[in-house]
Structure 1
Amino acid sequence: MAGVFEVFVDAESQFRFRLKAPDGTVLAVSAPFEDKRAAAAGIAAVRECAGTGLITDLSAAAPQVTAGTTQEEPAPARVSAPKQAPLPARAEHLRQGFGKKRTPSEVPGSQLRRPAATQTRWTGAA
């Protein structure tokens, strides 16, 4: 089941919409709009962009946890933004072969083509 967009009027008499999950959890609330038509255009823009939107992680890196440590050390102050490490591959993706380089012997060949030595020229006569 898909999420639901609800258009409503807020306390300041502005139109807004909220996106609710199938279980009723509010996932997002929009900025205020002047009228219902503008709110509908906002919903259309979210529908168009949400599925193709890229993710930008602006959060700080998680602290490293080592075995045997019980106290958390405060993170040193940083002047520049932390470097983003690539995300590890998910186990189910590795099972499906995503991200794996194929050797020439693993590349699937077309079973519909004849080998070059056995091809004959078509003359048009039946």
Structure 2
Amino acid sequence: MAGIFEIAEAGEKAYFFKLTAPDGTVVAVSPLFNTIKGAAAGITAVRENAATGLIVDKSRTRKKPPIGTAAARSATPLTGARLAPS
């Protein structure tokens, strides 16, 4: 079973969507939209781009080599992932 997108209200004139996994885990929550159409367009954008999206690791857990070194110029990508330039 695929995940479920759910549009909900946040106040009187704001909407958001959330993506829930089949086991009920909330995977993603959108920013607020002014209209339901805007929230639906956001869902469409996620559907179109999620499978082709790049992974950018901006965590602080990896030690970064000093700027200007050969290691800094040839970053090692995560296994199985395509990284976008940051």
The structural deviation recorded for 1:48 is 0.3
Query: Where does 1:23-102 land on structure 2 (aligned, <5 Å)?
Result: 23-62=23-62, 82-83=64-65, 84-87=75-78
Are residues 17 and 88 of structure 1, via their aligned partners in 2, closer, same or farther at CA, if it must alter by over 3 Å? Answer: closer
Larger RCO of the pair (alpha carbons < 8 Å, separation 6+): 2
Identical residues among aligned pairs (%): 51
User: Which of the pair is proportionally richer in helix?
Assistant: 2
Q: Which has the larger radius of gyration?
A: 1
Q: What are the Cα deviations for residues 41-60 of structure 1, in whole angstroms up to 9, with x where unaligned?
A: 11000000011000010112
Q: Is the 1:61–1:82 Cα contact (8 Å) retained in structure 2?
A: no
Are residues 61 and 13 of structure 1, via their aligned partners in 2, closer, same or farther at CA, if it must alter by over 3 Å? Answer: same
Are residues 49 and 88 of structure 1, via their aligned partners in 2, closer, same or farther at CA, if it must alter by over 3 Å? Answer: closer
Structure 1: tracts of 5 or more residues without a match: 63-80, 90-126
Q: Show the counterpart of 2:7.
A: 7
Letter in 1 for 2:64: P
Q: TM-score, normalised by structure 1?
A: 0.50
The structural deviation recorded for 1:12 is 5.4
Calculate the aligned-residue CA RMSD, in Å.
Answer: 2.1
Runs of 4+ with deviation above 3 angstroms? 83-89
Q: TM-score, normalised by structure 2?
A: 0.71
The total of aligned residue pairs comes to: 71
CA distance in 1 between counterparts of 2:43 and 2:76 reads 34
Are residues 16 and 82 of structure 1, via their aligned partners in 2, closer, same or farther at CA, if it must alter by over 3 Å? Answer: same
